[in-house]
Structure 1
Amino acid sequence: MTAVSANTRRTAGAGRVLVVEDDEGIRDMLRYNLASAGFAVHEAADGASGLRTARTSSPDLILLDLMLPGMTGLDFCRAVRKTSRVPIIMLTAKDSEVDKIVGLELGADDYITKPFSVREVIARIHSVLRRAQLEPAEPRSTPEVETIGSFTIDRAARRVTVRDREVKLAAREFDLLSHLVAHPNRVHTREALLESVWGPEFNGDRKTVDVHIRWLRQKFAGQVDFEIVTVRGSGYRLDRRPEAAA
């Protein structure tokens, strides 16, 4: 299938969205409703033309169908992530749970299951764009000391304080919290957390992640300016409150 020529409708200036979707009906529906919501919309009907359009249009966000002709949505996501951190929302079928997980691991920021409502798509776009604004523009090394409001983690000393009072953590609790704080506002699957925190040699129950998350929530509930959110069917995300993101 050949590319659809870029269609741009600039209205209220909500941002630039690239829709990469081979289904013409879905593409037309998204174009119309996103333009009505104030977005400048660019389109592509396959992955290769989507990459070309992404380079020329510099979108603020990409809506990406996983089931594309030729280059798959996963391949597209992998190619984009080599050079860009532009937010990506995947459009997936109900039975593609494995693809959802792989897509999130490759760097997609969220996913929406088909069939979807226009209101859900627009709400998710606004949410992902808000989260993206809280992230640093360029990759950074993990600092030894990091502060979120009244919370401070000192990685060199392996010490966590809240309002200058130390919170005692087990070694694995500290490592898990450190990883989440270092990578806020993005979804982490259980498998990714196990590999990053417990190590690739870990052969235990993946539910150990859930247990450690529960312990962290109990220790910090109502005391800190972030929340460890469960992303149903995917994993966990640490959300900083906007006033504590600076």
Structure 2
Amino acid sequence: MAAKKTTIVTADDDPRLLRLVSRNLELEGYEVIATQDGEQALQAVETRMPDLVLLDVMMPKMDGFTVCTHIREFSTVPVIVMTARGQDKDKVLGLDLGADDYLTKPFSVDELLARIRAVLRRTSFAVTESKGMQPPLRIGELTIDYTQHQVKRGAEEILLTPVEYRLFVYMARNVGRVLTHDQLLEHVWGSEYLGESHMLQVNMNRLRHKIEPNPAQPRYLLTRIGVGYTFVDPQPTQSAS
């Protein structure tokens, strides 16, 4: 029986670019669902549940930011947004809304494929790290259930994207240690993302809003200015005297 193809929804209102992207993805063995506006893209995600979504920012009917926001209401599917050159604010906004990565137009086919492979690899690693018979990890009110790929605060499940989950798990496994920006970027995103501190900052901010009771005064995910971040157990186990 043939293995199921990785499915990608791609959305762009430029028909030439849409054909170019779709054709090259198909040549790489991906199943492609091509859409020409935001509404079509969102409908395709809802009905087909793809493995990855590639979104242009500027589209008719519904822009890429709005599509990404709606996707994050029901799915953690990896999302890559395509932004215009020089529009750094669009990159940050896309990441802040839940995108996993971005591409700057114009881009080469090689860059497109590299970004897609990197995002899919991170998603695969996040799932792989959850397998096995590891017992749940509990820190304060938070619990990581590796077998279910879940993070909970008390009895409430916290919906994390694959990148957020991988970042959270890596920090939790190093509780009490200060992890540098480069350590976190290399482990979570890969060595090709070293120096892209905004990727880390935006995802850390999103994590705090999901994890912390009061994101403005974090208890778990603390900043070490000029160095990196540390995961703190607010209720460390007391050793017997």
Please give the range of the TM-score, normalised by the shorter of the 2 chains: 0.5 to 0.7
Q: Residue 135 of structure 1 contacts residue 185 of structure 1 at CA under 8 Å; is this kept in 2?
A: no
Aligned length: 176
Q: Residue 96 of structure 2 contacts residue 203 of structure 2 at CA under 8 Å; is this kept in 1?
A: no
Partner of 1:61: 52
2:126 paired with 1:115: no
1:55 is paired with a residue whose SS is helix
2:223 paired with 1:211: no
Partner of 1:153: 174
Structure 2 CA distance, aligned partners of 1:152 and 1:53? 37
Q: Residue 18 of structure 1 contacts residue 43 of structure 1 at CA under 8 Å; is this kept in 2?
A: yes
Residue identity in the other structure for 2:227 = H
Query: CA offsets, 1:160-209, max 9 Å, x none?
Result: 4xxxxxxxxxxxx58x99xx69x95593336954994995489xxxxx87
Structure 1 CA distance, aligned partners of 2:41 and 2:206? 33
RMSD: 3.9
Give the structure-1-normalised TM-score.
0.59
Provide the identity percentage. 32
2:53 is paired with a residue whose SS is strand
2:89 paired with 1:89: no
Structure 2 CA distance, aligned partners of 1:85 and 1:130? 15
Equivalent residue runs for 1:31-70 within 5 Å: 31-70=22-61
Query: Structure 1's 152 and 107: CA in aligned 2 closer, same or farther, altered over 3 A?
Result: closer
Q: Which runs of 4+ in 1 moved over 6 A?
A: none
1:111 is paired with a residue whose SS is strand
Q: Residue 194 of structure 1 contacts residue 200 of structure 1 at CA under 8 Å; is this kept in 2?
A: no
* 5+ long unaligned stretches in structure 1: 1-10, 161-172, 203-207, 217-246
Query: Structure 1's 95 and 210: CA in aligned 2 closer, same or farther, altered over 3 A?
Result: farther
* 5+ long unaligned stretches in structure 2: 128-147, 155-167, 191-198, 231-241
Partner of 2:151: 140
Residue identity in the other structure for 2:95 = L
Residue identity in the other structure for 1:18 = V
Partner of 2:200: 188
2:60 is paired with a residue whose SS is coil
Query: CA offsets, 1:83-113, max 9 Å, x none?
Result: 0011111111013211111110111010010
Give the structure-2-normalised TM-score.
0.60
Partner of 2:15: 24
Query: Structure 1's 199 and 124: CA in aligned 2 closer, same or farther, altered over 3 A?
Result: same
2:31 is paired with a residue whose SS is strand
